[in-house]
Chains A and B, each alone.
Chain A
Amino acid sequence: MLGFLSARQAGLEDPLCLRRAESTRRVLGLELNKDRDVERIHGSGVNTLDIEPVEGRYMLSGGSDGVIVLYDLENSSRKPYYTCKALCSIDRNHPDVHKYSVETVQWYPHDTGMFTSSSFDKTLKVWDTNTLQTADVFNFEETVYSHHMSPVATKHCLVAVGTRGPKVQLCDLKSGSCSHILQGHRQEILAVSWSPRYDYILATASADSRVKLWDVRRASGCLITLDQHNGKKSQAVESANTAHNGKVNGLCFTSDGLHLLTVGTDNRMRLWNSSNGENTLVNYGKVCNNSRKGLKFTVSCGCSSEFVFVPYGSTIAVYTVYSGEQITMLKGHYKSVDCCVFQSNFQELYSGSRDCNILAWVPSLYEPVPDDDETTTKSQLNPAFEDAWSSTDEEG
């Protein structure tokens, strides 16, 4: 570490190298910390979390009872012990609250004045953050499983919505109506995600085991259907291509948009090259997935080797993305974990679970690794616990 700092100072190393090495070191040291927790507001399971991309300061959470809560993550008190306070919430008394469980919430990607939420009550609501009123409501015929708005798009304001029907709907925020429909899947759409690299590329995952990549400007169907066996590409074959051997529950692009991760109920996670749809055959082993609806997992951003954090039962499994090695399992929740998000400025992970808690995983401070050869030195007893007795065997 000191070598890195002096090399950076002398200009021998790129400044980005030090930043990436330090971010990786911090992610490797993630654990529960007694000094940080998140205020508990939800009375039922937390389904979704989202941190705003502008400052990384505010977090939204959506629960199974339709409640949406807004938290401030920044520690402005001077003390190390800090509870992330809930600034405001849309609770059951609010006139516009969702009737059933909120499945996805997302901040407007360009500022924190607006956010969107979709729920099992077949609506997508657009909220004004400052007044906490709905600015617009989109109604659908089927329950909404997931929605996503493109984080990089400047030319369009489309929200992709995945519902229980096989058609992906694109809703335009500017005009307030559903602009078009993407057809191609055969069963419910469990996850949708826009590419963080290109404005118009969308990936959708469905219960019919297929993952499709679309260019929304193109009228004639999807670009690629991902095939786990990497067979030969031909038009007639498209119908038999499956990405997983079960429902595909979750989608996540890596932060540069070049690769796509998918998880399925066949307990596998796969990494795909997003430009040609090829399965990179990185093998993560068994990634237990019992969720009947979407699973929200996340990828780290800004580390030298990127990590993926996947909810695995009541723990969170951490893998390196490109080599498939399992780093650790983060244990702390009492019931199954539904969602997790990564705050890339401070390398912190927040996870929400069915036990109504949101836990904050914080990098632990650097402690020197104990050498096996050294004997343990002085004991560090609090003077209150020391007793005045001395035993004949040991020195007090």
Chain B
Amino acid sequence: MSRKRHCLVPETFGLKRRRERGPVEADPLRGESGSARAALAELVQLFPRGLFEDALPPIALRSQVYSLVPDRTVADRQLKELQERGEIRIIQLGFDLDAHGIIFTEDYRTRVLKACDGRPYAGAVQKFLTSVLPACGDLSFQQDQMTQTFGFRDPEITHLVNAGVLTVRDAGSWWLAVPGAGRFIKYFVKGRQVVLGMVRKAKYRELLLSELLGRRAPATVRLGLAYHVHDLIGAQLVDCISTSSGTLLRLPET
């Protein structure tokens, strides 16, 4: 503990000590440091599209981005920038107020249009996608915003809720949602518990990352072990310790 801090001390005086770094083994999942956008591109590759018959856009989680971009503040700022530019949407997943799903706007738009094709609420959804989505990049919408700024009437808002595009948050405010995301959330919550249970049942409650990824995924883990491991690391549900044989995942004591 004191070694790290004493290394910080010369830095405050403007001197930098250069040390020879031995060759660091690149673990299969760790060792990435890049921008949030590169992390997102990689994470959507991990998403199993075939499982949902391509009806859902590929969803990545904010905690997974933290696992790939080690500095969280930088990751948050980059995600906020992408959100402001309109390239991604951030969705509130229902099970945990802190878990945010991240979807590329293009994917979201195409999937939602495909999902509401031919249904009675298609008109309201199209109006929503064309007028509200580009204008307002937030996670939630308010009553007066929808009625006054964007000109939606109450029946149209009900259509949007029936379509699954909006979810009720409070009296007069709604979260943005993905139609059909219920199955994804069910698999995700189950899979997270199972992968965490795998670490918990190990001896001394710790597992080498390479060993965990090498195990056969139990049937309940439908989204893939790598997907869940990124999320667990980023959400700090397991501690990541680098050892000479790779990264070790250990359950925190508290």
Contact = CB atoms under 8 A, between A and B. Distances in A.
A242 to B, nearest CB: 9
B77 interface: yes
Contacts of A304: 12
A286 B236 contact: yes
Contacts of A328: 1, 4-5
Contacts of B6: 28-29, 367, 369
B77 to A, nearest CB: 6
Contacts of A239: 170
Interface in A281-304: 281-286, 288, 304
Given A240-B170, A240-B173, A323-B73, A229 B138 contact: yes
B98 interface: yes
Contacts of A325: 71
Contacts, number: 86
Interface string B112-134: 00000000000000000000000
Interface string B1-26: 11011111110111001010000000
B76 interface: yes
A223 interface: no
Nearest to B17: A369
Interface residues of A, number: 39
A21 B5 contact: no
A231 interface: yes
A365 to B, nearest CB: 12
Nearest to B62: A283
A285 B13 CA distance: 28
B12 A29 contact: no
A324 interface: yes
Interface stretch (B103-111, B139-147, B193-201, B222-230): B139-147
Nearest to A20: B12
B169 A240 contact: yes
A218 interface: no
A236 B12 CA distance: 47
Contact of A29 (B9, B138, B169): B9
A303 B140 CA distance: 39
Contact of A281 (B80, B97, B170, B236): B80
A237 interface: yes
Interface string A235-249: 011011000010000
A25 B2 contact: no
Given A266-B97, A304-B12, A327 B173 contact: no
A31 B76 contact: no
B75 interface: yes
B19 A285 contact: no
B254 interface: yes
Contacts of A28: 5-6, 8-9, 12
B72 A21 contact: no
Given A229-B138, A232-B138, A3 B5 contact: no
Contact of A1 (B13, B138, B144, B145): B13
A283 to B, nearest CB: 3
Contacts of B73: 281-283, 323-324
Interface string A209-246: 00000000000000000000101101011011000010
Given A283-B72, A283-B73, A283-B75, A288 B254 contact: yes
A100 to B, nearest CB: 28
Contacts of B8: 28, 327
A178 B12 CA distance: 48
Interface string B78-90: 0010000000000
A141 B139 CA distance: 40
Interface string A15-29: 000000100110011
Interface of A: 1, 3-4, 21, 24-25, 28-29, 31, 229, 231-232, 234, 236-237, 239-240, 245, 266, 268, 281-286, 288, 304, 313, 323-325, 327-329, 364, 367, 369, 372
Interface of B: 1-2, 4-10, 12-14, 17, 19, 66, 71-73, 75-77, 80, 97-98, 136, 138-140, 142-145, 169-170, 172-173, 236, 254
Given A28-B8, A245-B97, A323-B73, 17 more contacts: A25-B13, A229-B138, A231-B138, A231-B139, A232-B136, A232-B138, A234-B144, A236-B143, A240-B142, A282-B73, A283-B72, A285-B236, A324-B73, A327-B5, A329-B1, A367-B6, A369-B9
25 contacts: A3-B13, A4-B13, A21-B12, A21-B13, A28-B6, A28-B8, A31-B2, A231-B138, A231-B139, A234-B145, A236-B142, A236-B144, A240-B170, A281-B80, A283-B66, A283-B73, A283-B76, A304-B12, A324-B71, A327-B5, A328-B5, A364-B2, A369-B6, A369-B9, A369-B10
